[in-house]
Amino acid sequence: MPALVLLVALTVLAAAAVYAAGCWLAPFGPCGRCHGHDRLCRRCDGTGRRVRAGRRLHTYLRALYREGSRPDPGRRPERRRP
Ligand SMILES: [Zn+2]
C-alpha cells in the first residue's frame, strides 16, 4: 500500500512538473470562448490566445512574493514603541 501512495504522489508531482514546464515554454493557450474565430472577443481581445491558468498563478505568486519581501519606498516606517 505505501508503494501505491508513493507511486500516486510521484505521478502527481511529475504531472505538475510537466504542466509547469509547459506554462514556462508556452505561456499562452487557445481562447476557450471563441477558439480564435471571433475578432470582437473580449476575453482574448480578438487574438484567439489567452494566458494559461498556470502562468497566471505563477505571475500572482511572484507579485505576492515581491510585495511581501521588498520595502515600499512610499510607506512611512513604523514607529517603535519605547
Ligand atoms: Zn477569444
DSSP string, the chain: -HHHHHHHHHHHHHHHHHHHHHHHH--EEE-TTTTT--TT-TTTTTSSEEE-HHHHHHHHHHHHHHHHHS--TTSPPPPPP-
Q: How far apart are CA 49 and CA 27, in angstroms?
A: 10
Nearest to 29 by CA among 38, 19, 14: 19
Ligand 1 centroid distance, CA of 50 (Å): 8
Q: What is the 56 CA–ligand 1 centroid distance (Å)?
A: 17
Which pTM was predicted? 0.66
**For residue range 4-62, what is the model confidence (pLDDT) as tens digits?**
999 999 999 999 999 999 999 999 999 999 998 999 999 999 999 999 999 999 999 99
